[in-house]
Amino acid sequence: MKIAYLVNTHPRGSTTFIRREIQALERMGWQVHRIAMRADEAPLVDPADIAERERTEYVLSLGGWALLKSAVGWMIHRPRRSFMALRLALACGSRANARILHLIYLLEAAHLARRCRDLDIKHLHAHFGTNPATVAMLASLLGAPGFSFTTHGPEEFDAPLALSLPAKIAHAEFAVAVSSFGRSQLCRWANLSDWPRIHVVPCGIEPWRFPEPAALPAGGPHLVAIGRLAEQKGFPVLIEAVAQALPALPGLRLTLVGDGPLRRALEAQVHRLGLEGTVTFAGWQDEAGVRTALGAAQALVLPSFAEGLPVVAMEAMAAGRPVIGTMIAGLPELVTPETGWLVPAGDARSLAGAMAALAATPSDRLAEMGRAARRRALDRHDIDRAAARLAALIQGLPEE
């Protein structure tokens, strides 16, 4: 079966789970055409992402005039469908106070409908319930095949009405959330009659990339945090927690893997608190670099304020590392008392307490927590199983 994946920006270092899902479908024999609005402006460091970029079609690379010509040429021969799509685009735009932007989405959708016909696409799947789902919805009204979309959170749940989530769920063949929490948030805004078409398909990891874990390092505690250095990830609270925990834990070390808009502010915070010898900024790493960082740590720490279901937690657990996380979104579905610690979000003192609990845990108990984490991650988040579940939904097959 030939389908298209629609993403706003693809590939990105922070969304490798989309690439893994596509490749899992391809291993099943599906043909997947990648379409993105734009390429990531940040440099890619992972060879797999670089190769993925070469396989992706970028809508906005056409240029404004070519996109307008393609869209108008498609719409002028489909006046009824075009009127319906225009009316829906304006309605969605009025909710977001962004009518002009939604008219641009309409043009993108018309071009997408043309490309789906040219490529003989049988189904369109969008990742994220933001503008990719908007474009996919409008494209389906303009003659593209049926569509579905995956929501991740937290962006979609911050502004569900402005993003017209109820309309997207109603028009889609089905909608996907990556956790039960995410599904509950979609159900909040969907018509009751649409609930049966809202499903959970978690993101996944590739088990073969996680051989038997390296032994936990001695000393420390050694922690690693991995993610985009942005507000929702809560890294300023993490650094404050390190400062609070350090007097009782002089061997404490934290490595931050990632980059983003808060890096300079975080570096300044580290300097202000005198933590230069304790906190290390490692920048973005490819998948091999992430696994190396996990192997050098005793636990992953996730101080997030908002999440979907973070793939990095799955990766850490598959690498045999416990997780210190916050009690938000889908994290309690993944991290249990047998596999780590959960603390209130935004609470530096509780986070420091979890670091102390980690340091006080005997090494054999900590290793057993790592083994339990690995079993849970590999059992629940095998990407091939997740992709098979998505494939069954696209084919209209009942869930197992």
Same domain, 180 and 45: yes
Same domain, 198 and 228: no
> Is the Cβ–Cβ distance between 112 and 132 less than 8 Å?
no
Backbone angles phi, psi at 237, to 5 degrees: -65, -40
CA distance 312 to 125: 23
Same domain, 7 and 64: yes
Residue 60, domain member (yes or no): yes
Residue 84, domain member (yes or no): yes
pLDDT in tens, 194-229: 999 999 999 999 999 998 998 999 988 999 999 999
HEC-encoded secondary structure of 194-230: HHHHEEECCCCECHHHCCCCCCCCCCCCEEEEECCCC
Q: CATH number, domain at 341? A: 3.40.50.2000
H/E element holding 251?
A: none
Same domain, 155 and 63: yes
Which segments in the chain show pLDDT lower than 70? Answer: 397-400
> Is the Cβ–Cβ distance between 37 and 61 less than 8 Å?
no
Number of helices and strands (H, E) in the chain?
17, 13
Residue 125, domain member (yes or no): yes
* Domain limits for position 294: 209-380
Q: What is the DSSP letter of 344?
A: -
Residue 399, domain member (yes or no): no
**Tally of residues, the chain:** 400
pLDDT of res. 398: 55
The three-class DSSP label of residue 256 is strand
CA quadruple 95, 101, 105, 111: dihedral, nearest 10: 160
Q: What is the pTM of this model?
A: 0.91
Same domain, 124 and 134: yes
State the DSSP string of 155-199: HHHHSTTTTTHHHHHHHSSEEEESSHHHHHHHHHHS-GGGGGGEE
Same domain, 247 and 98: no
CA distance 137 to 149: 9
Report the sign of the C-alpha dihedral through residues 136, 141, 144, 145, in that order: positive
Residue 142 exposed, middle or buried by CB count within 10 Å (0-12, 13-18, 19+): buried
Residue 373, domain member (yes or no): yes
Provide CB contacts within 8 A for 396, sequence distance 6+.
none
pLDDT in tens, 61-107: 999 999 999 999 999 999 999 999 999 999 999 988 899 999 999 99
Residue 400, domain member (yes or no): no
pLDDT of res. 43: 82
pLDDT of res. 400: 43
pLDDT in tens, 157-190: 999 999 999 999 999 999 999 999 999 999 999 9
Number of domains, the chain: 2
* Side-chain-facing half-sphere of 86: CA atoms under 13 Å: 10
Same domain, 136 and 244: no
Same domain, 218 and 91: no
Backbone angles phi, psi at 200, to 5 degrees: -105, 120
Same domain, 124 and 8: yes
Segment 337-343 long-range contacts (CB within 8 Å, at least 24 positions apart):
338/369, 338/372, 338/373, 338/376, 339/369, 339/372, 339/373, 339/376, 340/299, 340/369, 340/373
Residue 184, domain member (yes or no): yes
Same domain, 78 and 99: yes
Same domain, 94 and 158: yes
Residue 336, domain member (yes or no): yes
CA quadruple 268, 274, 277, 280: dihedral, nearest 10: -30
The closest alpha carbon to 299, from 254, 350, 238, belongs to: 254
Same domain, 197 and 317: no
The three-class DSSP label of residue 241 is helix
